Amino acid sequence: MSNFWFPLGQIIAKFVMFAFYILLPRLIGLEEYGRFAYTQAFCFIIAQPIIELGLDMVITKWVSRGAEDVVNKAFFIRIISSLLASIVICIASLIFKTHLLLTLIFTLYLIVMTFNNTIFAFFRGKQKFIYEAFLSPANKMLALISLIILSNLFYLKSALTGAWALLFSALLTWGVGLSLLKKHYHSQPTTISPSYKVLLKEGITLFLTAILWMLYFRIDTLMLGLMVNTKEVGWYSTAYKLMEGSFIIPATIMALCYPNLSKQKNFISIFPKILFIMISLGILCSSLIYFLSHPLITILYGERFQRSIELLKILAFAVIPVFIGHLTTQSLIALDKSKLYLYITLLATLLNIILNYFFIHLWQAVGAAYASIITEIFVTVFTGGYVWINVKELNLK
């Protein structure tokens, strides 16, 4: 039954957050939205990898194997990493002269959401998806309601409005999530429980991957803000958010399939089936986004965002490799090939930074869109190629 509620909950959550990001630029304006998107990307690149340490999938993997006490260890590690991230982000904010209060609110939001994700990772490992199915859309709904209240009742019309709304919703969701965790969590160690050393080894590898992943996933927004202006960031972020709305589909599929995929005896039979689904849905979503880009931008955002139409049409071509990449990258983790994933992500990050540097100089936001497509194809080809060619050599039966 939870397998029904989980995708439904994820779809509702994505739809509500989609509404949040449609309403936000309408309420605060193009330049303030550009400042919001730039600072958000800044915090995601610098603070989020340090806070998360790439532990979500590690937690799910070990819980699915019966080592529930990994959650206690993950919470302790993330408390330390959150303190470290807070210091780093304050120093970085002073260096890059970002809005300090906005930066701190985003950082606190990331810390709270990381603890929320620890709880979700536990329930995914237990294959109890129903709690996340309800909490995730509730979190997004609270963010949307908070945004409306702050902007209309308290007349807050700046980038801070969106950041405060996200933080309030995250805190409320965290409280509910903790109460649910207490009812289902058993902390007794087992013979297969990973030590802190093993957990940190896996986590640090994925931490480095997460830094690189955030760089190549968010560096376009950051470099646009540094090299052009906040208006260009606003146009690009608007188009990107619309394209990103389709990512709920592969994310939901992988959240449902990953616990079974991480059981290596099932891998060889499951992988080809998921691959076919990802390719088919990727082609469908890419086509819809491309052909509906004009009415989507015009109806949802208005005349001020017409430049986003061209950007959305270009970004539509990134959808197919992104869908497939959800499967191929998580397959490497399921097969305990995190280091290979790290190396591929490193190369992809370097490629993306180089492409963005030259392409943004030439074509501004359009150049950033082209860089995103090329990078996504690169990651998908190399991760997918390894899994597909070497699957029979991994002693899977």
> Within a 10 A sphere around the Cβ of 18, how many other Cβ atoms?
18
Q: Is the pLDDT of residue 150 over 70?
A: yes
Instruction: Read off the pLDDT of each residue in 277-286 and give the average, rounded to a whole number.
Output: 97
pLDDT class of 396 with cuts at 50, 70, 90: very low
Contact 139, 13 (CB under 8 A): yes
Angle (CA) 210 351 31, round 5° = 75
**Single-letter code of the amino acid located at 21:** Y
Angle (CA) 126 129 130, round 5° = 125
Contact 311, 335 (CB under 8 A): no
Helices (H), the chain: 2-28, 30-46, 48-52, 56-64, 70-96, 100-125, 130-152, 159-184, 196-227, 230-244, 248-261, 264-291, 293-301, 307-315, 319-334, 338-363, 365-390
Contact 98, 39 (CB under 8 A): yes
Q: Taking every pair of C-alpha atoms in the chain, what is the biggest distance, in angstroms?
A: 62
What tens digit of pLDDT does each residue of 304-322 get? 889 999 999 999 999 999 9
Instruction: Check residue 288 and give its pLDDT.
Output: 97
Q: Name the token pair of 91.
A: 């120093």
Distance CA 109, CA 84 (A): 15
Contact 110, 89 (CB under 8 A): no
What tens digit of pLDDT does each residue of 41-97 get? 999 988 988 898 878 888 888 888 888 888 888 999 999 999 999 999 999 999 988
Q: Is the pLDDT of residue 397 over 60?
A: no
pLDDT class of 289 with cuts at 50, 70, 90: very high
